[in-house]
Amino acid sequence: MVEQLRAPEAEEPGRLVLTWRVLYDADMAEEPPGRVEWTVGAAGDGLTRVRLVHGDLAFSPLTWARVKDGWVWVLDAMKTKLETGATLPPPASSTSGPEPADSPDWHRAQGVEANNACWELISQPQRSEDEQEELLRRAYAAAYHWQRARASRPENEARASYMIAKALLLTGQPEASLRAADRTLGTCLEHGLVDFDLAYAHEARARALHALGRSRAAADAWAAAQAVTVVDAEDRAIVERDLSVPPTDPPAAVGATATD
């Protein structure tokens, strides 16, 4: 049994958000509630994409460990039912117990959540001083967790540094933002990262340099961002959208999407 703690959010078609907490286990019931968001949208001709995000679990490690695989089964069961009319058998119960809250898989989940949570604040047209501080904390938290996550790759390090650069720029710290952007570009060059990550490394540098009044260097970095070839069509559309907004005063809240 789970508890819905407040009325679900459903302000827009195809999106449902509700607060979620387990009641069938006493220890899990003591943990803070999570936030479950369902999004349904078109994914092409005759195709529908269902996206499920169970977030706000940074302080609920037992809940995260015990329900993460259950959501996969729920989505698989829905797909099977729609496509075949049949149902999946109940998932086998696990006797291995929950994963430790400090496990690499747990850090990966927290890194994804912290990174995505940054965009919730970045997308706001205005932020209070408390929200500015919260943005910085989320950006550094994402980097902390990704550094310790299972299967963490150089791309994750680059994107973590990019998010820190973005957060520092939006909170009025262009010099620190440039240092983080330089780390992003350094990671790309050291590990041969090209495409999406390289474009955003140059983009972050250009915006920080512009905020510092270094117009010539900012223009060079911006040209470098525009010159990067992005192969994937979806990624290319995202990059082109963000590069359609040049460096501005105050800085624009655009940039690379969520880390996964």
Category of 85 on φ-ψ map: left (φ > 0), alpha (ψ -120 to 50) or beta: left
What are the tens digits of pLDDT across the range 136-152? 999 999 999 999 888 88
What is each CA distance from 130 to 70, 133, 134, 171, in whole angstroms? Answer: 35, 5, 6, 11
If one counts every other C-beta atom within 10 angstroms of the C-beta of residue 124, the result is 12
Query: What's the confidence (pLDDT) of residue 78?
Result: 85
Query: What's the confidence (pLDDT) of residue 258?
Result: 43
| Average confidence (pLDDT) over 44-70 | 82
Contact 11, 27 (CB under 8 A): no
User: Two tokens at 92?
Assistant: 């086998």
User: Two tokens at 68?
Assistant: 């993460």
Give the sign of the dihedral formed by CA 227, CA 233, CA 236, CA 240.
Answer: positive
- Give the total residue count for the chain: 260
pTM beyond 0.75: no
Structure-token match 């105050």, residue found: 250
Is the pLDDT higher at 93 or at 126? Answer: 126
C-alpha to C-alpha distance for 199 and 179, rounded to whole angstroms: 17
| Average confidence (pLDDT) over 69-98 | 75
C-alpha to C-alpha distance for 221 and 210, rounded to whole angstroms: 10
Peptide bond into 250 cis (omega under 30): yes
Pure H helices in 94-171:
104-122, 129-147, 154-170
Residue 95 has pLDDT above 50, yes or no: no
